[in-house]
Amino acid sequence: MRAVIAQGAGGPDVLSVAEVPDLRPGPGEVLVRVAATAVNRADLLQRMGFYPPPPGASEVIGLECSGTVAELGEGVQGWSVGDEVCALLSGGGYAEQVVVPAGQLMRVPHGIDLVTAAALPEVACTVWSNVFMVAALKPGENLLVHGGAGGIGTFAIQLAHAYGARVLTTAGTPDKLGLCAELGADVVINYREEDFGAVVRERTDGHGADVILDNMGAKYLGRNVAALATEGRLVIIGMQGGTKGELDIATLLGKRGAVIATSLRGRPASEKATICAAVAEHVWPLVDDTRIRPVVHGTLPLEAVAEAHRLMEAGEHTGKIVLTL
């Protein structure tokens, strides 16, 4: 089969497509013939040597895919050869075949074509697990989403809006802010020109953000805590702004707030299966009836993987970048 390999760690040009051995599913696993995969920021970190796969996971980059069930491992029930699926992966998505624990497979939502479905698993599972399962966002609460025009941001805005939350979001250009508003954001904040903390306080009448979904990490830590409401929950899912920051414990104590850092890739298969089942139950119906739509910036063939990584690094895209096979 064809798969993307990396000749050492470095820039996008270390990536190329080569022939590697075919795969076979083990007990409880499913072999998927991949139709498309999507690029995630974690993929860039893995390419640079900063984010190795968990023990036992494929060395091939790729945290999600869509495709067709090609073979069932021993003991797998509920799926049949030929089913169209999308999947949350620990690795291996940039390839013609991938082996997936059966619990991490999800049906393709109604009305979504097989290629576009590759843009859904990682964002849906990340947003549902962090914003709803961990931070327990409730209808009527204020959610602040950083990076609202990205893959996770565009999905978080729509899902929170559908569940009756008030959504505030940051982005860096007028076009991206316009997209966020179109998707359901109530307040859009240009982080290049405005102090997001001041805008949050002003637009919530001093209440603050009940939940913050943050992809920046250290750079925003102090300002995020200051923007929290009483009993607010800051969920950090990325480190684009660094790994070490200063935390004012007095401010956090005064707000009875929580700072939570989570990752999805390294969780046990049982936890990922629980998240995928919850997404299928609570999120997919909203995609089925078009209240949520995947936002895809564009598609490129697998052979253009280096170009796709450069596009993501440039930061000018909106939504997801999809690689097709």
pLDDT, one tens digit per residue, over 197-216 is: 999 999 999 999 999 999 99
Specify which residues 233 forms β-bridges with.
Answer: 211, 258
Mean per-residue pLDDT over the chain, rounded: 97
Q: State in Å, rounded, how far the first CA of the chain is from the last one.
A: 11
- Of the candidates 91, 88, 123, the residue with the CA atom closest to the CA atom of residue 105: 88
Six-digit token string for 278: 């919850």
Higher-pLDDT residue of 45, 241: 45
How large is the average pLDDT for residues 152-175?
A: 98
How large is the average pLDDT for residues 176-184?
A: 98
Per-residue pLDDT at 177: 98
Residue 262: how many CB atoms within 10 A of its CB?
A: 15
- Kindly report, as residue ranges, where domains of CATH 3.40.50.720 are found in the chain: 124-261
The band of 59, judged by pLDDT with boundaries at 50, 70 and 90, is very high
- Kindly report, as residue ranges, where domains of CATH 3.90.180.10 are found in the chain: 2-120+267-324
Radius of gyration of the chain (CA): 19
Six-digit token string for 322: 């999809």
Report the amino acid identity of residue 73: G
For domain 2-120+267-324, give the CATH superfamily. Answer: Medium-chain alcohol dehydrogenases, catalytic domain (3.90.180.10)
Per-residue pLDDT at 58: 96
The band of 6, judged by pLDDT with boundaries at 50, 70 and 90, is very high
Per-residue pLDDT at 323: 98
Six-digit token string for 319: 């939504």
What predicted TM-score, i.e. pTM, was given to this entire model?
Answer: 0.97
> For the chain, percent helix, then strand, then coil, each to nearest 5?
35, 30, 40
- Of the candidates 186, 215, 187, 212, the residue with the CA atom closest to the CA atom of residue 199: 187
Per-residue pLDDT at 65: 98
Six-digit token string for 165: 């939350």
Whole-angstrom Cα distance, residue 69 to residue 318?
Answer: 30
CATH topology of domain 124-261: Rossmann fold (3.40.50)
How large is the average pLDDT for residues 11-38?
A: 98
Per-residue pLDDT at 237: 97
- 316 to each of 116, 176, 201, 313, how far by Cα in Å? 20, 9, 28, 8
Helix (H, G, I), strand (E, B) or coil at 143: strand
Specify which residues 33 forms β-bridges with.
Answer: 68, 97
Per-residue pLDDT at 108: 98
Whole-angstrom Cα distance, residue 282 to residue 78?
Answer: 19
The band of 279, judged by pLDDT with boundaries at 50, 70 and 90, is very high
Share of the chain above pLDDT 70, in %: 100
Whole-angstrom Cα distance, residue 121 to residue 64?
Answer: 6
